[in-house]
Amino acid sequence: MVRACLIILTLTGPAFLAAAADSTASLIETIRKVSDKGQGHKAAVAAASQLSQSPPAELPSLLKAMNDAGPLARNWLRGAFETVAARSVNDSAFPKAELIAFFNDHGNNPAIRRLAFEWIAKADPAFAGKTIPESLADPSSEMRRDAVAHFIALAKDLAAKDDKDAARTAWEKALSGASDDDQLKLISKTLKETYDQEVNLIQHNGLIVDWRLIGPFDNKGKKGFDVAYPPEKEVDFSKTYPAEFEGMTNELKWTKLTGENPEGLFDIAKLTAPHKGAITYAAHEFLSDRDQPVEFRFATPNAWKLWLNGELLFGREEYHRGMFYDMYQVRGRLKTGKNLILLKVLQNEQKEDWAQAWTFQFRACDLAGRALRPAGNTASLDSSTK
């Protein structure tokens, strides 16, 4: 008996726990080395299998490791986390307090915070019931969606009880956290029809509808995607540029235009001309009160390239494969002061009715999809950027 106790003490003492922590850290590091192309995959499989046998006390370490892991590594770590969590969620050893601390730290990755929340909720449903209504401004879009759904359900319940004023308050609370298209449309429709209250979706979503355009440049035969026309070399709103298009030489200049669609659609074909095999560049100057990350969320059925302050962020050469809200999400970094957003929108020569759209919808957001407001009126900016 004495010998058995000594063995137990040895296996649960500080030295053993330190060794276990070192082992966990080593296994996590092995998984984090997996490249996006799968290099290190075999070692990661073995490491994930060992991590899946970890004690519940290692769950916070696995969450932290997922914060900035690559996509493949995150999947492996998540699998190990969920295996350990499923095995221990109903045990006293489940580290609920540590997971709550992780969730409450908004500096952690929103998607990983959400994963922590889901397992905390399984261990303590009352925590979920209290937390969701408080999450209208949470950095996690999933938490905000659940919070908005909560207030929508509350509003419907209050309306059914004929408490219109309380229902209206609940609808307005739902609106304050809403960023998903389906929820926004339901809320704005209800506020309009029931309370004659208009919702400015452009302002609410941070949609940009005032742009300077220059075009058309040639895209016959879809050859213009990789051609660097003058706006890709300099943006000078005071200059004009000769450009060949459909056998004619046009002297092109930048023109200020404002879209009037209430959902922020900027219809190039309607605002200029329905050219085919053409390219238009759209420029917007966004004022930021600080250096900060930005996520541009936009939609277009046309091919496109996007620059921020002269840096090419991304592009996609694809035409008329559909269009939906927040179709593309591209991240960049705003500097303090004026930031030049340049979007190249390419139209091809398809003749079908469904291939005539030459349009886009564009908004600036924080990394959680909440609208970023400009620091001032960009209309007062009329300078050139080279």
Residue 12 belongs to some domain of the structure: no
**Is residue 14 situated within a structural domain?**
no
Task: Read off the pLDDT of each residue in 104-114 and give the average, rounded to a whole number.
Answer: 93
pLDDT value at position 381? Answer: 43
Q: In whole angstroms, what is the distance from residue 328 CA to residue 385 CA?
A: 26
Residue 68 contacts residue 33 (beta carbons within 8 Å): no
For the chain, state the CA radius of gyration. Answer: 27
Amino acid at 154: L
Confirm whether 113 is domain-assigned.
yes
Model confidence over 174-216: pLDDT tens digits?
Answer: 999 998 889 999 999 999 999 999 999 898 999 999 999 999 9
Say yes or no: 264 and 182 in one domain: no
> Quick one: 158 and 117 in the same domain?
no
Which helix or strand (DSSP H or E) is residue 224 part of?
A: none
Express each pLDDT in 279-296 by its tens digit. 999 999 999 999 999 999
- Considering its fold, how many domains does the chain have in total? 3
Does the pTM of the predicted model rise above 0.85? no
Residue 230 has pLDDT above 60, yes or no: yes
Task: Look at strands 210-218 and 248-253 and give their pairing.
Answer: unpaired
Report how far residue 329's alpha carbon sits from residue 314's, in angstroms, rounded to the nearest whole number.
Answer: 10
Percent of the chain with pLDDT over 90: 74
Task: Tell me the backbone φ, ψ of residue 237, rounded to 5 degrees.
Answer: -65, -10
Confidence of residue 305 (pLDDT cuts 50, 70, 90): very high
261-271 tens-digit pLDDT: 988 999 999 99
Give the tokens for residue 99. Answer: 């997971």
pLDDT, position 14: 47
268 and 176 share one domain = no
Residues 154 and 294 in one domain: no
Task: Give the per-residue pLDDT at 260.
Answer: 87
* One domain, residues 349 and 313: yes
Other Cβ atoms closer than 10 A to 293: 12
Give tens-digit pLDDT for 114-160. 999 999 999 999 999 999 999 998 989 899 999 999 999 999 999 99
Q: Over 50: is that where the pLDDT of 379 sits?
A: no
Count the helices and strands in the chain (H runs, E runs): 13, 12
Same domain, 122 and 97: yes
126 and 74 inside one domain: yes
Same domain, 150 and 122: no
